[in-house]
Amino acid sequence: MIYFDHAATTGTYPEVLLEMTPFFRELYGNPSSIYEFGKAAKEMMERARKQIARSIGAKKEEIYFTSGGTEADNWAILKTAEKNREKGKHIITSGIEHHAVLRTCAFLERNGYEVTYLPVDENGLISVSELEQAIREDTILITIMYANNEIGTVQPVREIGELAGKKGILFHTDAVQAYLHEKIDVEKEHIDMLSASGHKFGGPKGVGFLYIREGTELPSLLRGGDQEKKRRAGTENVAGIVGMGKASAIGEKNFEENHETLLRMRNTLIERLQTEIPDSRINGSLEKRLDGNVNVIFKVVEGEALLLLLDMAGICVSSGSACNSSSKSTSHVLQAIGVPPEYIRGTIRITLGAENTMEEIDTLMENLKGYVQNLRENA
C-alpha cells in the first residue's frame, strides 16, 4: 500500500506506541488520585503538556487536553459565545472552515447569534481588510482556521491576530492541519485559542488539545469532575496524552527535515501533474500552502472513479475531507474558491507524509496518467 492521505490521519509513530504501552497495564493509575501510583500517571501527563506548550510558544498551564480537534473547536466557540453574550452576539468566521466550526456556528445562529462568513479569493485566502470591515461593536469572536484541510491554503494568521488584539476581540484558530507543519507561535501571532488533534501528527486518535491564553475566561464545555484545572471534566486519556506528547516532541525535533522533504516531494508532484497530465488544475495557493498538500482537478474525469482505480492499485488518496467522505454533497471549499460545478467532481486530494518517497510519487504518476486517459476516453 502507498498512503497519500495524511490530512485524514497519520500512522502512529512506533516510539509513540512504546511510550503509551505502560499506561494500559503497568501505570494505569488515575491521575487525579493522591497516592504515588496515580501521581506517576500525572507526572507523565504534565510532561506531555509542557512539551506541547513549548512547541507553540505557550505556557504549560495554557494547554488543556481534549478528545480531539472537534471538541476543542466546539469548546472554544460555544463557551466564548456563552461567556460574552452580554457584550455581543456577533461572530466572524470564513466560508471554508472545517465543519466542526461551521456547524457549531450554525447552531449558535439558531440560538440568536449572528455569524459573518467571510468570502475567500480563488486561492482560498480571506482578506484582512474585509475582516476589519466586518468587525462590529458587538463582535465577540473571530475564528479562522490556520490552514485549510482540503486545499492546504495557509491564512494570514499573524495579521488576523494583530487585528483582533487591536480591536479587543478573542481570536481562535483551528490548527488541526497546521500544527507541526507550520511554525506556530501563539504570542507572536496573537492567538487566544488554538485547536489541534493528535492523530494528525503521528499520535493516537481520540486525543487533542486546546490552547487557551492565560486570562481568557472560558467555562468548561463538559459538566462533571474537576479535571484539567476544573475546565475539562472527565478522567484524562493518559495513554493518549502521553502518546500525543511524544509525537509532538518527535515532530518538533524533525520539523525542518520533514518540512524540506515534504516541500521537495510536493513541488515535484505539482510540477509533474501540470506538465504530464493535460487539463489538470491545482486548487489553493501555490505560495501560501501546507508543505504536503496537493489538491488537483482533472477535467472531464469522475474523481470517485479515479479514487477506486487508485485504491485497486494499492494507492490511498481522497476526494477531500475524510469527515465528509460518506456525504455526496459538493465540497463547500471548492465552491467557495469558484471551481465550476462540472469540474468539482474531478478533484482528488493527495497529502504527503515524511515517510513517502519519490519512488512512490513515480508510481502514483504512472497510475494517474493511465487512469485519467482511460476515464477521459470512456467519458
Domain boundaries, the chain: 2-9+255-372, 14-253
Active-site annotation, residues: 323
**Neighbour count for residue 321 (Cβ, 10 Å):** 19
**pLDDT at position 359:** 98
**pLDDT at position 320:** 65
> pLDDT in tens for each of the 379 residues of the chain?
999 999 999 999 999 999 999 999 999 999 998 898 889 999 999 999 999 999 999 999 999 999 999 999 999 999 999 999 999 999 999 999 999 999 999 999 999 999 999 999 999 999 999 999 999 999 999 999 999 999 999 999 999 999 999 999 999 999 999 999 999 999 999 999 999 999 999 999 999 999 999 999 999 999 999 999 999 999 999 999 999 999 999 999 999 999 999 999 999 999 999 999 999 999 999 999 999 999 999 999 999 999 999 999 999 999 865 455 555 678 999 999 999 887 888 999 999 999 999 999 999 999 999 999 999 998 7
Helix residue ranges per DSSP H, the chain: 14-20, 22-25, 36-55, 69-83, 99-109, 128-134, 157-167, 227-230, 238-253, 255-276, 303-312, 332-336, 341-344, 358-377
**pLDDT at position 321:** 53
The SS3 of residue 61 is helix
**pLDDT at position 175:** 98
Q: Who's near 275: CB < 8 A, 6+ residues apart?
A: none
Q: Work out the end-to-end distance of the chain between its first and last CA atoms, rounded to an integer number of angstroms.
A: 28
**pLDDT at position 342:** 77
The per-residue DSSP string of 132-158 comes to HHH--TTEEEEE--SB-TTT-BBP-HH
80 φ, ψ (degrees, to nearest 5): -65, -45
User: Cα(265)–Cα(227) distance, rounded to whole angstroms?
Assistant: 43
Query: Grid coordinates 502512529 are at which residue?
Result: 12
User: Cα(379)–Cα(361) distance, rounded to whole angstroms?
Assistant: 26
**pLDDT at position 319:** 84
CATH number, span 14-253: 3.40.640.10
Q: Who's near 317: CB < 8 A, 6+ residues apart?
A: 4, 5, 307, 310, 348, 349, 350
Are 351 and 4 contacting, i.e. CB atoms less than 8 angstroms apart? yes
Q: CATH second-level architecture of 2-9+255-372?
A: Alpha-Beta Complex (3.90)
The per-residue DSSP string of 168-181 comes to T-EEEEE-TTTBTT
User: Cα(13)–Cα(51) distance, rounded to whole angstroms?
Assistant: 17
**pLDDT at position 343:** 85
User: Cα(108)–Cα(285) distance, rounded to whole angstroms?
Assistant: 31
